[in-house]
Amino acid sequence: MSSNNTTLYAGIVIALIIGAAVGYFVYPSMNPELDPNDYVEKSTYNVLQSDYEDSQEALINAKASLGGALSEAALSDIVLSQIKGLTAGKKVGLVLATGGLGDKSFNDISYAGAQRAEDELEVEFDYVQPTAIAEYEGFQRDFAMSGEYELIICVGFDQADALTIIAGEYPDQNFAIVDMVVDMPNVASLTFRANEGSFLLGVVAGMTTETGTIGFVGGIDIPLIRDFYVGYKAGAEWANPTVTVGEPVFVGGWGDPGSGKELALGLIEQGYDGIFAAAGGSGLGALEAAHEQGINGYGVDACQDYLHDEIIASMTKRVDNAVFQMILAATTGTFQGGFYSGGLAESWTGMCRLPEEEALWESTFGFVHDPIDEDIITKVMDARDAIIAGDIVVPSGYG
C-alpha cells in the first residue's frame, strides 16, 4: 500500500472513529463533593464504556485493513451518522471518458462509485459525457469555475493534458484523475495494479483452455494496457506451465467494437480458445466473437460475465471503490493530492469469481454465474493470497 493510500484511509477512518468515541465517552466522577451533574450513573457509564470499546475495536480493525474497511464500508452506525453530517448535500463532478455510459466497463464502474457516494453519503453529483478528447478541457473548466464542487473526478488517462492546465488555473479546487498521474498538489492520481487482478484471470484461463492457446485483445498499445496482458500471461503460465499465451493484438481505440470483433475472430481461426479483452467499448466486439464461436471470453474492469454464457470470468478494476474513497475524503475534509496505487490488498483490483466479489456482481447485474470447478477457485485464492503476501511478484507492463 502506498504511503498516500495509508494517509488517506487513516485520515478518514481513524479520525472519524476516534471522533465518535470521544464524542460519546465521559469519565465518571468518584468525588462526592463535585456537582452531581459532573458524574453519571454506573449503568450509563457501562453503556458508554461498551460504545468506546466497540469504537476502539473498529479502530484496530481499520488500522489492520484500512482499504478493505472503506471498500466494504465497515463503519459503525455512529460513525456513518457522523460522516453523513459532514458529507450530505456536498457536490462532486464526474467527467467521464469518451465512450460514455453504457460501455459495461470503465465508465460504468466509475459512475457506480459516484452513485454509491450519493446513496450512502448523501452527496450530490453531476456528470458529463465527452465524445472527444478535445472536449475534456472545457468540461473540466466548467466544473472548476463554478466553485460548487468539493472534488472533480476525471476518468481516463487521456484527460491528463487538459487536467494539467485546469488544475493550474484553479489551485484551490480538488481533482482526481483515474488511471494516470498528474503531478499537481491539488490532484489525486489514482492508479490500479491491473496486473494483479489480471494474474488471477490468467489462472482461470490457463486452467480452462482445451487447445492450450489463449489470446488477448487490447485497446491501444500503451503500458496501461500492457499491464493487463503481462499479468494475464504470468497467471496463466503459473497455473499451467504448458499453456501458450499469444502475443497481444490491439484495436487502436476504445470505441470500435467492430474491429475488436475482427481481431478476436482472427485469433479464434488460429486455434485460440480463450480471449481476454481489455479494450473498453472495443472489447465488447471481441467478447461477441467469443460468444458466436463458442470459446471462453474474459471481461475487464466491471464483471462482464452476464453478457454471454461464454464469458466465464472478468478481471475487475474497482474504480468504484477508488472513486468512492476519494469522494469520502474530499467531502470530509481529509483529501490530499498525490499518487495513489491500489491492487488486490486495497480492493482496487480483483476478479469477479472471487468469493468476496461474486455475489456483488450477480446482484448488480441480475444474473447467476455458471458453476466453476472448485479446484480453479482454490488455485485463484492461493494466487491472491500469495500476491498480497508478496510471495508472488506479478510483472508489470510499465517497465
Exposed e or buried b per residue across 289-324, where buried means at least 16 C-beta atoms within 10 angstroms of its C-beta: bbeebebbbbbbbbbbbbbbebbbbbbbbbbbbbbb
Mean pLDDT, rounded, for 192-196: 96
Distance, CA of 368 to CA of 362 (rounded, Å): 6
Rounded CA-CA distance 393/124 in Å is: 40
Residue 231's DSSP bridge partners are: none
Q: Classify the C-alpha dihedral 38-41-43-46 as positive or negative.
A: positive
Q: Residue 46's pLDDT is what?
A: 58
Which pLDDT score is estimated for 68? 43
Residues 6+ apart with CB under 8 A from 368: 362
For 52-91, letters b (16+ CB in 10 Å) and e give: beebeebbeebeebbbbbbbeeebbebbeebbeeebeebb
Q: What is the pLDDT of residue 280?
A: 87
Identify the weakest region by mean pLDDT among 116-125, 190-199, 233-242, 268-277.
116-125
What percent of the chain lies above the pLDDT cut of 90?
A: 68
pTM of the model: 0.76
- Asked whether the beta carbons of 226 and 195 are under 8 A apart, the reply is no
What residue ranges do the domains of the chain occupy? 3-84, 87-193+320-342, 195-317+373-389
* Number of Cβ atoms within 10 Å of the Cβ of 242: 8
CATH topology of domain 195-317+373-389: Rossmann fold (3.40.50)
12 pLDDT more than 60? no
pLDDT value of position 55:
53
Tell me how far apart the 2 most distant CA atoms of the chain are, in Å: 91
> For the segment 306-361, what is each residue's pLDDT rounded down to a tens digit?
999 999 999 999 999 999 999 999 998 989 999 999 999 999 999 999 999 999 89
pLDDT score at 87? 81
Q: Is the pLDDT of residue 67 over 70?
A: no
Please report which confidence band the pLDDT of residue 377 belongs to, taking 50, 70 and 90 as the band edges.
Answer: very high
- 293, 263 contact by CB (below 8 A): no
What does the mean pLDDT of the chain come to? 85
Same CATH fold assignment for domains 87-193+320-342 and 195-317+373-389: yes
- Domain 87-193+320-342: which CATH class? alpha beta
Please, which residues bridge with residue 95 across strands?
128, 154
Higher pLDDT, 99 or 53: 99
pLDDT at 41 over 70: no
Closest by CA position to 138, among listed 152, 118, 124:
152
81 has a pLDDT exceeding 50: yes
Q: Is 106 helix (H, G, I), strand (E, B) or coil?
A: helix
Query: How confident is residue 368, by pLDDT bands cut at 50, 70 and 90?
Result: very high
DSSP state of 184: -
Element (H, E) at 339: strand 338-342
Is 98's pLDDT higher than 80? Answer: yes
